[in-house]
Structure 1
């Protein structure tokens, strides 16, 4: 591959990293804390490419020495074309993981929280409290004080249909989308069949005490009191 092509691919790859880091698309793949690293990596690639282009331009303007021997060097690197694969992946912008990823990992049991005594802080006061799905699932499974009993909670997630059951789910990540694992609650109520799979909703629910057990794979059951469709949030994952 010619140096000019290599430089162009490097500019495209660096520009693609900058694009997703600055417009927020990177949140489909990694945690928010990775933004600075993506910007830095993209900027370094673009700078290296332009420095290399500049050096090639300067070198092309110098007269070549006349010698008695002619050397024909043809340095080819077919592997350099692999740089275009991440560029295409970025510009095609695949969506964040959703219903299909949850169904493929359906039998996975969530790990207990890191605290050995499973201590949870008191829930805030109020008629309706907002919680992440991950926090709700952990509290339902491991909080022995029953703090969710008789409380009304608002959850945000996407709809997952499996067999004859309906769930609200989120995907939690430790570093990036490659290590994502699902957290979900089982929904009960009227009209669940009409909910569109993978569509995002905000639901007001009440926990059915005792439903998060080893037999249910620590998936709590909640009764819907209200639900409304929403747009996909800018950051679709939980941490």
Structure 2
């Protein structure tokens, strides 16, 4: 069982599968843990068998409790049908969570550009909420994320961030206006447009972008910010 869990960790960490559950910096700790577990398995298989103690030896004394085998169920699930990354389902249920505060440092203007500037969804939100949105006002930006929706028929370009693992995930989303043909939920898109003045986190309305174009995108290997 120890070896099986080690194999699961190596399978996840040597590919991109681990990025569905933890941040990228945990790759090598997971690899090391998998190697250690497999090493322990080899050691247990090769070590000399303990000497039997005459008639007192109980053939049933070393059986593994049946409930212990349930520990391999998560590993089997990962091998057979690996769960997808967190997406619209979580984001739609975290819509009212507090938005991450803007950094304490001075908010720098967006770089000069002849075309749209790529901005992270969370950054776009806190830029809208400080200095009256002056750093993004009248600027063409491009937000990339997956599509989530709400009960009122609105749709959003959305990203999920994790600090350590999927258990601490938080969602950021920007409402897309003037583009009624919503793409498929959970599909990835790049939305180009301009900030809708007056919309900001914590205000009377959600942060919104007036879309000039929406283009499909492939989901990145690491879907979290």
TM-score of the two chains, using structure 2 as the length reference: 0.89
CA distance in 2, matches of 1:152, 1:65: 78
Following the alignment from structure 1 to structure 2, what is the Cα–Cα distance between the partners of residues 59 and 129? 66
Q: CA, structure 1 residues 47+187, in 2 after alignment: closer, same or farther (shift >3 Å)? A: same
Q: What is the count of residue pairs matched by the alignment? A: 220
Contact 2:125-2:201 at 8 Å conserved across structures:
no
Task: Show the counterpart of 2:78.
Answer: 90
* Cα displacement string for residues 121-140 of structure 1 (whole angstroms, at most 9, x for unaligned residues): 22111021111111111211
Q: Is the 8 A contact 1:10 1:83 kept in 2?
A: no
Partner of 1:51: 43
Q: Find the aligned partners of 2:158 and 2:13 in 1 and give their Cα distance.
A: 26
Deviations 1:7-59 (A, max 9, x none): xx21111011011111111111111111111101111001101111111xx43
- 2:163 pairs with 154, 160, 174, which one? 174
Unaligned segments of structure 2, at least 5 residues: none
CA contact (8 A) 2:127 2:133 kept: no
Alignment of 1:152 onto 2:144: no
Q: Output the aligned Cα RMSD.
A: 2.0
Q: Greater Rg, structure 1 or structure 2? A: 1
79-88 or 132-141, larger mean C-alpha shift: 79-88
2:19 aligned partner: 27
Would you say the 8 A contact 2:20–2:222 is kept in 1? yes
Determine the C-alpha separation between the residues in 1 that align with 2:136 and 2:221: 28
Distance 2:43 2:20 in 1: 31
SS in 2 for 1:90: helix
Question: Alpha-carbon deviation of 1:114?
Answer: 4.4
User: Whole-Å Cα distance in 2 between the matches of residues 149 and 128 of structure 1?
Assistant: 13
1:65-110 deviation per Cα after TM superposition (whole angstroms, max 9, x unaligned)? 794x342151344253243033124222100011110111121121
Q: Secondary structure at the match of 1:59?
A: coil
Distance 2:201 2:52 in 1: 80
Kindly indicate whether the alpha-carbon contact (under 8 Å) linking 1:165 and 1:186 is maintained by their aligned counterparts in 2: yes
Equivalent of 2:209, from 222, 225, 233? Answer: 222
Instruction: Tell me how far apart the structure 2 counterparts of residues 37 and 220 of structure 1 sit (CA, whole Å).
Output: 38
Closer/same/farther in 2, CA of residues 143 and 119 from structure 1, 3 Å limit:
farther
> Contact (CA 8 Å) 1:11, 1:45: kept in 2 or not?
yes
Tell me which residue corresponds to 1:232: 219
SS across alignment from 1:16: helix
Over 6 Å off, 4+ runs: none
SS of aligned partner of 2:175: strand
Assess, with a 3 A threshold, how the Cα gap between structure 1 residues 93 and 70 changes in structure 2: closer, same or farther. same
CA distance in 1, matches of 2:95, 2:160: 12
